[in-house]
Structures are given as C-alpha cells and as structure tokens.
Chains A and B, each alone.
Chain A
Amino acid sequence: MSKADAMLYAVSLTIVACGGAYVGVPFFKLFCRQFGLGGNPEYARGHNTGKIEQMARVEDRILTVYFTADKHASMKWNFRPQQQSIKVVPGETALAFYTAENPTEEQVIGISTYTIMPYTAAPYFNKIQCFCFEEQILNPHEKVDMPVFFYIDPDFDEDPELEFEDSIVLSYTFFQAKEGMSLSLPGFLSGGKKEAAKPQPAA
C-alpha cells in the first residue's frame, strides 16, 4: 500500500470515528431509554423494587412535588389533593394524600391515571403504591382519603437534562368507569395490574 493510500485510509477512518461520536450520543440516549441505564433492564420502564432498601438520600437536592387533581366532565366525584406541594429529596420515600367524595345518591366507580411534568422527570418518579389504574368504588356520600406513596430516584440528581429542574408536578385525573370500560394505556394493561398484591379487606 502506498503512503497516499495509507493516508487516505487514516483520514477516512478519523472522519468515520468522529461521525460515530456525534451519532453515538442520541443513539445511546435512545438505547438507554428503551433498555435501561447501564444496560440494566430493571431500570427501564418498570422500577427496581430492591432499590429502595439501598438508595441514599441526596440531601442537598431539594425538590418540590406539586399535586393537581382533575376529573373528566362526566365524573361526579369531587376530587382534590390535600396538599398543594411537598418538599422532598431524591432517595427519600414520601406520602401524599388526595381526597375523593361521592356527593351522589348512587355508587360511582372511578378509575384514574396520572401524568408527570416535566416528562424528563417521569422516569425517576417511582410510585410504590397509590390508587391509580384500578377501579375504585365510592358509596353514596362517601368521602375517602387516597394516598400516594412514592420516591424520586437518586439518579435524578445525575441527569444533566434535569440540572435546573427543581419542581415536579404530579397530576391525577379521575374518570367514571362504566361497565366493560377499560383505560387504554399503551403497554400497561398487560402487566402490573395482575401483579398488584392487594390484600383482601376484612368483610
């Protein structure tokens, strides 16, 4: 191989390598979002439940979680958060409450879903237990407390996209459930619901 050829090969290799570096960043972002950080699939989509025991509080990163409540127009319940916000740090489990009241004369079944804002914070928001996705029945004139037990993953503090985000909004929306209705949540109803370990309440 002549020196000119070798030079050409070296230069083109360099260009390919640089191009690869540019492409690599969004590629790995996509890859990690799909398959989990560090290739650990437990961190993707669902959450690693063993993490709670080992996680440490990130003392100096105080976050404010705001709570909002919404309901579909036809939903007859009154539904509101009991606190406007709570101050938490990543790695610390926290409890918050909503209240739901059925002011009507008949039993009403509700089912709720939620969103997290900003979306970039959502993968770090872990609900240990709450009242969402399963049908909840309220008797006439019944008023109940609905807890949300959650934590924010300590890795939140490591995410450069979230460096300046100190507020998270948790928004629940209640819908009235009718016979045979199901919430179409992409990819959800196949998992999770069946695994919910709900103790049978004493009759």
Chain B
Amino acid sequence: MATPAARFTPTPPDKGSFPIDHEGKCKVPMRRYMDCLRRKEYDNNLCRELSKEYLQCRMDNNLMQQEPWQKLGFKDLLTTETGDSR
C-alpha cells in the first residue's frame, strides 16, 4: 500500500530569531557554557545552569525577550535557587 513519503517541512522557531550579539556582550557566558560542555563530554544536562546564565545575559542586554524560566524549560533550576533570581 502506497502512502506518501514523509516530507521535511522547515518550521519557524517558536519565539523567532535571536538578534545578533554584534557587541559580544554575552561572549563570556557563552564561553563558560562551551567550556562546561567540553569538560562534561557534551552532556547538556550537566551544563544547564550555565545555559540559563547565557540566556539571562541575553535578556539583560535586550537580545532576547524576557520570559519566565518555566516557559524556557528551567523550572527545575528555580527550586534550587534561594532568594531572587539574578
């Protein structure tokens, strides 16, 4: 029985495009995250705190829309923080 083969259709990202960080404002958090990945054999689960910091940097510098962390999949990291998030 012939069914049409699955075709790949690109879809737009949920929250659109990241503006380019022309001034390199978030280069440092990016480097720290990449260093963590290298050390931890590229296991995303072990470097999520640093990826959160990178995204925080983007939000702080108007390079990303402010979003509550739960909506970005970081709700488990919120419970380990004490006091206000940065």
Whether a CB of chain A sits under 8 angstroms from the CB of B17 is: yes
Whether a CB of chain A sits under 8 angstroms from the CB of B19 is: yes
Number of A-B contacts defined by CB within 8 Å: 168
- Interface of A: prevailing SS: mixed
Size class of A's contact patch? Answer: 35 or more
Residues of B within 8 A of A134 (CB): 16-17
Taking a contact as CB atoms closer than 8 A, the residue among A55, A86, A116, A128 that contacts B13 in the complex is A128
Taking a contact as CB atoms closer than 8 A, the residue among A46, A87, A145, A196 that contacts B30 in the complex is A145
Whether a CB of chain B sits under 8 angstroms from the CB of A178 is: no
Interface residues as binary, B1-37 with A (CB distance below 8 Å gives 1, 0 otherwise): 1011011111111111111111010110010011001
Q: How far is the CA of A186 from the CA of B18 in the complex (A)?
A: 23
> Would A120 and B13 be within 8 Å (CB), given that A52-B73, A87-B43, A199-B63 are in contact?
no
Residues of B within 8 A of A127 (CB): 11, 13-14
> Would A30 and B3 be within 8 Å (CB), given that A129-B18, A149-B55, A199-B62 are in contact?
yes
Residues of A within 8 A of B70 (CB): 52-53
CB distance B18 to A147 under 8 Å? yes
Total number of B residues with any Cβ neighbor in A under 8 Å: 47
CB distance A55 to B14 under 8 Å? no
Residues of A within 8 A of B48 (CB): 92-93
Taking a contact as CB atoms closer than 8 A, the residue among A83, A129, A201 that contacts B16 in the complex is A129
CB distance A95 to B51 under 8 Å? yes
CB distance B62 to A130 under 8 Å? no
Residues of A within 8 A of B7 (CB): 119
Q: How far is the CA of A33 from the CA of B62 in the complex (A)?
A: 37
Whether a CB of chain A sits under 8 angstroms from the CB of B41 is: yes
Taking a contact as CB atoms closer than 8 A, the residue among B4, B11, B51 that contacts A192 in the complex is B11
Residues of A within 8 A of B61 (CB): 202
Q: How far is the CA of A188 from the CA of B26 in the complex (A)?
A: 30
Whether a CB of chain A sits under 8 angstroms from the CB of B75 is: yes
19 contacts between A and B (CB under 8 A): A29-B3, A30-B3, A52-B71, A52-B73, A86-B44, A87-B45, A119-B8, A122-B6, A130-B13, A133-B17, A134-B17, A145-B26, A149-B72, A188-B10, A191-B12, A193-B12, A198-B65, A201-B22, A201-B63
Q: Which residues in B have some Cβ–Cβ distance to A below 8 Å?
A: 1, 3-4, 6-22, 24, 26-27, 30, 33-34, 37, 41-45, 48, 51, 54-55, 61-65, 70-75
